[in-house]
């Protein structure tokens, strides 16, 4: 097993080489514990033949652990200051100096591709050809939830995700009906996929050390996708209901539906329920009735 994974002295040295300090505005907390990144790669279950996209690669802590498995890795980093350090870190996994037999003298692309881009604005379809990609990432806390939802809504090429984010955000992504963390985000995830917590990560493995605990959430896209119109209606109703989560559905959906009481009755949903009591099946029935689709 390689010893080249990054520790605190190595991360600090790389940052010094490029004259960069961690930016709070970018949510930069770099993992400095080799055991943690190997654990993430192991929980992701990636290996030779797998295609992985990592968001927020930083200086390459997790990138190295993913490359170590033999997977093909696309590492995306928005901070241009860090890209030179990231290229240096993964150079030993690539084969830029080996001639390509098909083009004498030309480089052979390595298993790690570095992409300088903002994941919130990049063209995912151009970056990830084909199907069966996995997202494995230490996501910046400030974009984690929105990015996961974007991938689920707009990037069908990604079939699995294992992401690390603030524990509270991870709990919302994976929450089940009736739990305190369950909300609109939980339903939006459930529309596409099954989600579960895969473990916690202490603040001590990061530089700089965050003030909160992190957690890992595993998300697996289901084979059958919901029709876009139905999905949009589910999301609309969920957003309206959870805007006042402590109120009963017959009240909180009054402005979202022409006949809230009638829609709830036809869908077989008690109007006295609060939104956190409804699972995906009930939200789908409500949306189908709202759209005039036979239940």
Domain count, the chain: 2
* The domain boundary residue, chosen from 221, 244, 278: 221
Token pair, residue 152, equals: 């689920």
Q: How high is the pLDDT of residue 167? A: 96
Q: Among 64, 286, 43, 81, which residue's Cα sits nearest to residue 170?
A: 43
CATH number, position 247: 1.10.8.100
CA-CA distance, 135 to 119, in Å (whole number)? 12
CA-CA distance, 62 to 198, in Å (whole number)? 17
Residues 273 and 165 in one domain: no
- Residue 3 belongs to some domain of the structure: no
- Residue 92 belongs to some domain of the structure: yes
Most distant CA pair in the chain, distance? 72
Domain that holds residue 137: 8-221
Q: Verify cis geometry, omega within 30 degrees of 0, for the bond prior to 208.
A: yes
Mean pLDDT by 10 residues, the chain (295 residues): 80 94 89 97 95 96 95 95 94 55 38 93 92 95 95 96 97 96 97 97 96 96 91 96 94 94 96 96 97 75
Residues 83 and 216 in one domain: yes
Q: How high is the pLDDT of residue 3? A: 64
- Residue 100 belongs to some domain of the structure: yes
- Residue 1 belongs to some domain of the structure: no
CA-CA distance, 145 to 152, in Å (whole number)? 11
Residues 202 and 273 in one domain: no
- Residue 207 belongs to some domain of the structure: yes
Tell me the pTM: 0.90
Q: How high is the pLDDT of residue 294? A: 58
């Amino acid at each position: 097993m390689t010893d080249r994974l990054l520790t605190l002295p190595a991360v600090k040295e790389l940052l010094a080489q490029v004259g960069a300090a961690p930016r709070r505005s970018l949510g930069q907390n770099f993992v400095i514990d080799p055991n943690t990144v190997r654990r993430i790669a192991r929980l992701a279950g990636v290996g030779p033949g797998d295609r992985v996209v990592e968001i927020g690669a930083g200086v390459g802590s997790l990138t190295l652990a993913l490359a170590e498995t033999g997977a093909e890795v696309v590492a995306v980093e928005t901070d241009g200051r860090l890209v030179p350090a990231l290229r240096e870190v993964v150079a030993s996994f690539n084969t830029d100096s080996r001639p390509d037999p098909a083009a004498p003298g030309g480089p052979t692309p390595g298993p790690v591709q570095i992409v300088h881009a903002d994941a919130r604005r990049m063209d995912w379809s151009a970056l990830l050809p084909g199907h069966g990609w996995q997202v494995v990432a230490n996501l910046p806390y400030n974009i984690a939830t929105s990015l996961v939802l974007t991938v689920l809504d707009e990037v069908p090429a990604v079939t699995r995700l294992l992401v690390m984010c603030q524990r509270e955000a991870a709990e919302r992504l994976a929450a089940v009906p009736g739990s305190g963390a369950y909300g609109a985000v939980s339903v939006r995830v459930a529309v596409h996929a099954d989600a579960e917590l895969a473990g916690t990560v202490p603040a001590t493995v990061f530089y700089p050390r965050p003030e909160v605990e992190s957690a890992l959430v595993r998300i697996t896209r289901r084979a059958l996708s919901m029709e876009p119109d139905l999905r949009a209606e589910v999301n609309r109703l969920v957003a309206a209901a959870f805007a006042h989560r402590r109120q009963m559905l017959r009240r909180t959906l009054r402005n979202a539906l022409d006949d809230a009481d009638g829609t709830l009755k036809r869908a077989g949903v008690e109007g006295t329920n609060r939104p956190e009591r409804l699972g995906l099946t009930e939200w789908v029935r409500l949306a189908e009735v709202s759209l005039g689709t036979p239940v």
